[in-house]
Protein backbone atom coordinates (compact mmCIF):
# COMPACT_ATOMS: atom_id res chain seq x y z
CA UNK A 1 0.00 0.00 0.00
CA UNK A 2 2.72 2.47 1.00
CA UNK A 3 4.70 1.60 -2.12
CA UNK A 4 1.68 2.47 -4.29
CA UNK A 5 1.16 5.72 -2.39
CA UNK A 6 4.81 6.67 -2.86
CA UNK A 7 4.66 5.83 -6.56
CA UNK A 8 1.55 7.98 -7.06
CA UNK A 9 3.14 10.86 -5.10
CA UNK A 10 6.35 10.69 -7.14
CA UNK A 11 4.42 10.55 -10.39
CA UNK A 12 2.38 13.55 -9.27
CA UNK A 13 5.51 15.54 -8.49
CA UNK A 14 7.02 14.63 -11.85
CA UNK A 15 3.80 15.57 -13.62
CA UNK A 16 3.72 18.94 -11.84
CA UNK A 17 7.35 19.61 -12.81
CA UNK A 18 6.51 18.77 -16.43
CA UNK A 19 3.51 21.12 -16.40
CA UNK A 20 5.50 23.91 -14.80
CA UNK A 21 8.18 23.63 -17.47
CA UNK A 22 5.54 23.66 -20.21
CA UNK A 23 4.00 26.71 -18.60
CA UNK A 24 7.31 28.55 -18.62
CA UNK A 25 7.63 27.81 -22.32
CA UNK A 26 4.16 29.24 -22.93
CA UNK A 27 5.09 32.38 -20.99
CA UNK A 28 8.20 32.99 -23.07
CA UNK A 29 6.76 32.25 -26.52
CA UNK A 30 4.27 34.31 -28.52
CA UNK A 31 0.70 33.35 -27.75
CA UNK A 32 -0.39 30.19 -29.55
CA UNK A 33 -3.92 28.96 -28.97
CA UNK A 34 -3.32 25.32 -29.90
CA UNK A 35 -0.36 25.07 -27.52
CA UNK A 36 -2.29 26.52 -24.57
CA UNK A 37 -5.35 24.41 -25.37
CA UNK A 38 -3.31 21.19 -25.46
CA UNK A 39 -1.55 22.10 -22.20
CA UNK A 40 -4.87 22.69 -20.43
CA UNK A 41 -6.25 19.35 -21.68
CA UNK A 42 -3.15 17.50 -20.48
CA UNK A 43 -3.21 19.25 -17.10
CA UNK A 44 -6.92 18.72 -16.45
CA UNK A 45 -7.11 15.10 -17.68
CA UNK A 46 -3.80 14.17 -16.08
CA UNK A 47 -4.81 15.65 -12.76
CA UNK A 48 -8.17 13.88 -12.87
CA UNK A 49 -6.48 10.58 -13.74
CA UNK A 50 -4.05 10.90 -10.81
CA UNK A 51 -6.85 11.75 -8.39
CA UNK A 52 -8.89 8.79 -9.64
CA UNK A 53 -5.93 6.43 -9.29
CA UNK A 54 -5.20 7.66 -5.79
CA UNK A 55 -8.82 7.22 -4.72
CA UNK A 56 -8.99 3.72 -6.17
CA UNK A 57 -5.78 2.77 -4.37
CA UNK A 58 -6.52 4.31 -0.99
CA UNK A 59 -10.25 4.25 -0.49
CA UNK A 60 -12.05 1.82 -2.77
CA UNK A 61 -11.56 -1.87 -2.08
CA UNK A 62 -14.53 -3.43 -3.86
CA UNK A 63 -14.62 -4.20 -7.55
CA UNK A 64 -17.98 -2.48 -8.18
CA UNK A 65 -16.65 0.72 -6.58
CA UNK A 66 -13.66 0.84 -8.91
CA UNK A 67 -15.82 0.11 -11.95
CA UNK A 68 -18.17 2.99 -11.12
CA UNK A 69 -15.30 5.33 -10.27
CA UNK A 70 -14.21 5.81 -13.88
CA UNK A 71 -17.53 7.16 -15.28
CA UNK A 72 -17.93 9.22 -12.11
CA UNK A 73 -14.47 10.75 -12.60
CA UNK A 74 -15.28 11.59 -16.23
CA UNK A 75 -18.51 13.29 -15.14
CA UNK A 76 -16.71 15.28 -12.44
CA UNK A 77 -14.03 16.33 -14.94
CA UNK A 78 -16.71 17.53 -17.35
CA UNK A 79 -18.65 19.66 -14.89
CA UNK A 80 -15.54 20.97 -13.12
CA UNK A 81 -13.57 21.90 -16.26
CA UNK A 82 -14.65 25.52 -16.72
CA UNK A 83 -15.03 26.46 -13.02
CA UNK A 84 -11.55 25.10 -12.29
CA UNK A 85 -10.11 26.77 -15.39
CA UNK A 86 -11.38 30.10 -14.06
CA UNK A 87 -10.24 29.47 -10.50
CA UNK A 88 -6.78 28.37 -11.69
CA UNK A 89 -6.45 31.64 -13.58
CA UNK A 90 -7.31 33.37 -10.30
CA UNK A 91 -4.55 31.40 -8.56
CA UNK A 92 -2.10 32.46 -11.30
CA UNK A 93 -3.17 36.09 -10.87
CA UNK A 94 -2.48 36.01 -7.14
CA UNK A 95 0.84 34.34 -7.88
CA UNK A 96 1.72 37.12 -10.34
CA UNK A 97 0.93 39.78 -7.73
CA UNK A 98 2.98 38.05 -5.02
CA UNK A 99 5.92 37.43 -7.34
CA UNK A 100 6.00 41.08 -8.37
CA UNK A 101 5.66 42.19 -4.73
CA UNK A 102 8.56 39.98 -3.63
CA UNK A 103 10.77 40.74 -6.62
CA UNK A 104 10.59 37.18 -7.96
CA UNK A 105 10.41 36.14 -11.62
CA UNK A 106 6.87 36.31 -13.01
CA UNK A 107 5.39 32.88 -13.79
CA UNK A 108 1.89 32.73 -15.21
CA UNK A 109 1.18 29.51 -17.06
CA UNK A 110 3.45 27.34 -14.92
CA UNK A 111 1.30 28.21 -11.90
CA UNK A 112 -1.89 28.09 -13.99
CA UNK A 113 -1.31 24.55 -15.30
CA UNK A 114 -0.17 23.18 -11.95
CA UNK A 115 -3.28 24.66 -10.32
CA UNK A 116 -5.53 23.05 -12.95
CA UNK A 117 -3.95 19.63 -12.43
CA UNK A 118 -4.04 19.89 -8.63
CA UNK A 119 -7.66 21.02 -8.47
CA UNK A 120 -8.86 18.35 -10.91
CA UNK A 121 -6.95 15.75 -8.93
CA UNK A 122 -8.58 16.86 -5.69
CA UNK A 123 -12.02 16.92 -7.31
CA UNK A 124 -11.63 13.38 -8.64
CA UNK A 125 -10.20 12.16 -5.34
CA UNK A 126 -13.00 13.71 -3.30
CA UNK A 127 -15.73 12.48 -5.66
CA UNK A 128 -14.85 8.89 -4.74
CA UNK A 129 -16.56 9.61 -1.42
CA UNK A 130 -19.83 9.18 -3.32
CA UNK A 131 -19.02 5.48 -3.58
CA UNK A 132 -18.39 5.06 0.15
CA UNK A 133 -20.72 5.32 3.15
CA UNK A 134 -21.59 9.00 3.27
CA UNK A 135 -20.43 11.20 6.09
CA UNK A 136 -22.20 14.43 7.18
CA UNK A 137 -19.57 16.65 5.57
CA UNK A 138 -19.94 14.79 2.26
CA UNK A 139 -23.72 15.15 2.41
CA UNK A 140 -23.33 18.92 2.58
CA UNK A 141 -20.21 19.69 0.54
CA UNK A 142 -20.53 17.47 -2.52
CA UNK A 143 -24.12 18.37 -3.49
CA UNK A 144 -23.20 22.04 -3.14
CA UNK A 145 -20.14 21.58 -5.33
CA UNK A 146 -22.08 19.57 -7.92
CA UNK A 147 -24.88 22.14 -8.04
CA UNK A 148 -22.60 25.13 -8.52
CA UNK A 149 -20.39 23.31 -11.04
CA UNK A 150 -23.38 22.23 -13.14
CA UNK A 151 -24.92 25.72 -13.04
CA UNK A 152 -21.67 27.26 -14.29
CA UNK A 153 -20.83 24.55 -16.83
CA UNK A 154 -24.29 24.25 -18.43
CA UNK A 155 -25.51 27.80 -18.79
CA UNK A 156 -27.58 27.07 -21.91
CA UNK A 157 -28.87 24.04 -23.77
CA UNK A 158 -26.04 24.24 -26.29
CA UNK A 159 -23.59 23.49 -23.48
CA UNK A 160 -25.02 19.98 -23.04
CA UNK A 161 -22.28 18.29 -25.00
CA UNK A 162 -19.37 15.99 -24.26
CA UNK A 163 -16.55 18.47 -24.72
CA UNK A 164 -16.39 21.52 -22.43
CA UNK A 165 -13.71 23.15 -24.60
CA UNK A 166 -13.58 22.87 -28.39
CA UNK A 167 -11.41 25.92 -29.02
CA UNK A 168 -8.21 24.30 -30.24
CA UNK A 169 -7.86 27.21 -32.64
CA UNK A 170 -8.77 30.84 -32.00
CA UNK A 171 -10.69 32.24 -34.95
CA UNK A 172 -12.31 35.10 -33.05
CA UNK A 173 -10.36 38.38 -33.07
CA UNK A 174 -8.05 39.13 -30.15
CA UNK A 175 -9.18 42.31 -28.36
CA UNK A 176 -6.70 45.02 -27.53
CA UNK A 177 -5.77 45.30 -23.83
CA UNK A 178 -8.12 47.64 -21.99
CA UNK A 179 -8.42 49.08 -18.50
CA UNK A 180 -11.27 48.01 -16.19
CA UNK A 181 -14.39 50.08 -15.74
CA UNK A 182 -16.68 48.43 -13.20
CA UNK A 183 -17.96 45.01 -12.19
CA UNK A 184 -20.41 44.01 -14.96
CA UNK A 185 -21.72 40.82 -13.34
CA UNK A 186 -23.25 41.65 -9.97
CA UNK A 187 -25.40 44.55 -11.27
CA UNK A 188 -27.08 42.06 -13.64
CA UNK A 189 -28.29 39.78 -10.86
CA UNK A 190 -31.66 41.56 -10.88
CA UNK A 191 -31.75 42.07 -14.65
CA UNK A 192 -34.35 40.19 -16.71
CA UNK A 193 -33.52 37.35 -19.06
CA UNK A 194 -31.54 35.10 -16.71
CA UNK A 195 -32.60 31.74 -15.34
CA UNK A 196 -31.81 30.88 -11.73
CA UNK A 197 -28.79 28.74 -12.58
CA UNK A 198 -27.43 31.50 -14.84
CA UNK A 199 -27.51 33.90 -11.90
CA UNK A 200 -25.22 31.47 -10.06
CA UNK A 201 -22.61 32.12 -12.76
CA UNK A 202 -23.13 35.86 -12.37
CA UNK A 203 -22.47 35.61 -8.64
CA UNK A 204 -19.36 33.49 -9.17
CA UNK A 205 -18.00 35.81 -11.87
CA UNK A 206 -18.85 38.92 -9.88
CA UNK A 207 -17.06 37.73 -6.75
CA UNK A 208 -14.04 36.69 -8.80
CA UNK A 209 -13.94 40.13 -10.44
CA UNK A 210 -13.78 41.83 -7.04
CA UNK A 211 -10.85 39.72 -5.85
CA UNK A 212 -8.50 39.97 -8.85
CA UNK A 213 -5.24 41.71 -7.85
CA UNK A 214 -4.12 44.80 -9.79
CA UNK A 215 -1.10 43.12 -11.43
CA UNK A 216 -0.68 43.65 -15.20
CA UNK A 217 -1.59 40.24 -16.66
CA UNK A 218 -4.38 39.56 -14.16
CA UNK A 219 -6.04 42.95 -14.43
CA UNK A 220 -5.87 42.91 -18.22
CA UNK A 221 -7.51 39.48 -18.41
CA UNK A 222 -10.21 40.74 -16.05
CA UNK A 223 -10.74 43.93 -18.02
CA UNK A 224 -10.97 42.22 -21.41
CA UNK A 225 -13.45 39.71 -19.97
CA UNK A 226 -15.48 42.65 -18.66
CA UNK A 227 -15.62 44.22 -22.12
CA UNK A 228 -16.49 40.93 -23.82
CA UNK A 229 -19.23 40.20 -21.30
CA UNK A 230 -20.84 43.56 -22.01
CA UNK A 231 -20.99 42.58 -25.68
CA UNK A 232 -22.76 39.24 -24.97
CA UNK A 233 -24.31 39.42 -21.50
CA UNK A 234 -26.51 36.38 -22.14
CA UNK A 235 -23.83 34.14 -23.62
CA UNK A 236 -23.46 30.41 -23.06
CA UNK A 237 -20.72 28.75 -21.05
CA UNK A 238 -18.99 27.93 -24.35
CA UNK A 239 -19.00 31.66 -25.11
CA UNK A 240 -17.37 32.29 -21.74
CA UNK A 241 -14.66 29.69 -22.41
CA UNK A 242 -13.88 31.40 -25.73
CA UNK A 243 -13.85 34.80 -24.04
CA UNK A 244 -11.24 33.56 -21.57
CA UNK A 245 -8.96 32.46 -24.39
CA UNK A 246 -9.39 35.82 -26.12
CA UNK A 247 -8.54 37.55 -22.84
CA UNK A 248 -5.47 35.33 -22.34
CA UNK A 249 -4.30 36.18 -25.86
CA UNK A 250 -4.87 39.90 -25.28
CA UNK A 251 -2.97 39.92 -21.97
CA UNK A 252 -0.10 37.71 -23.15
CA UNK A 253 2.27 40.60 -24.03
CA UNK A 254 2.01 41.79 -20.41
CA UNK A 255 3.44 38.58 -18.96
CA UNK A 256 6.59 39.48 -17.06
CA UNK A 257 5.62 43.10 -16.41
CA UNK A 258 5.80 44.07 -12.75
CA UNK A 259 3.69 47.19 -13.15
CA UNK A 260 1.80 49.02 -15.86
CA UNK A 261 4.23 51.93 -15.58
CA UNK A 262 7.17 49.79 -16.70
CA UNK A 263 5.30 47.70 -19.27
CA UNK A 264 5.73 48.70 -22.95
CA UNK A 265 2.12 47.72 -23.78
CA UNK A 266 -0.52 50.35 -24.44
CA UNK A 267 -3.67 49.69 -22.41
CA UNK A 268 -6.66 51.57 -23.78
CA UNK A 269 -9.44 53.01 -21.58
CA UNK A 270 -12.37 50.69 -20.97
CA UNK A 271 -15.20 50.98 -23.52
CA UNK A 272 -17.85 53.29 -22.11
CA UNK A 273 -15.65 54.57 -19.29
CA UNK A 274 -15.54 58.34 -18.81
CA UNK A 275 -12.51 59.88 -20.51
CA UNK A 276 -10.08 61.97 -18.49
CA UNK A 277 -9.62 65.57 -19.59
CA UNK A 278 -6.28 66.21 -21.33
* Share above pLDDT 90 across residues of the chain, in percent, rounded to a whole number: 75
User: Is residue 274's pLDDT more than 50?
Assistant: no
* 127 — pLDDT class (breaks 50, 70, 90): confident
Give the pLDDT confidence of 177-213 residue by residue, as tens digits: 999 999 999 999 999 999 999 999 999 999 999 999 9
* In contact, 34 and 165? CB cutoff 8 Å: no
pLDDT for the residue numbered 269: 87
pTM of the model: 0.93
- Average pLDDT for residues 77-103, to the nearest whole number? 97
Q: Which residue has the higher pLDDT, 128 or 275?
A: 128
Over residues 4-24, the pLDDT tens digits come to: 778 888 999 999 999 999 999
How does the average pLDDT of the chain come out, rounded?
Answer: 91
Amino acid sequence: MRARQAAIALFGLGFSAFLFREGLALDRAPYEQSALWRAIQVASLGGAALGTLAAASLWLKRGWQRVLLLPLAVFIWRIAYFPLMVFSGHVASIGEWLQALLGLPIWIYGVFLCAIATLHGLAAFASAQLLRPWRPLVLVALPLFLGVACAVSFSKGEDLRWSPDRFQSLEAPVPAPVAPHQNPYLPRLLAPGYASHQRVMLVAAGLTYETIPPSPWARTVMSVLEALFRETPHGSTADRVLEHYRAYASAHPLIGCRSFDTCPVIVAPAPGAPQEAP
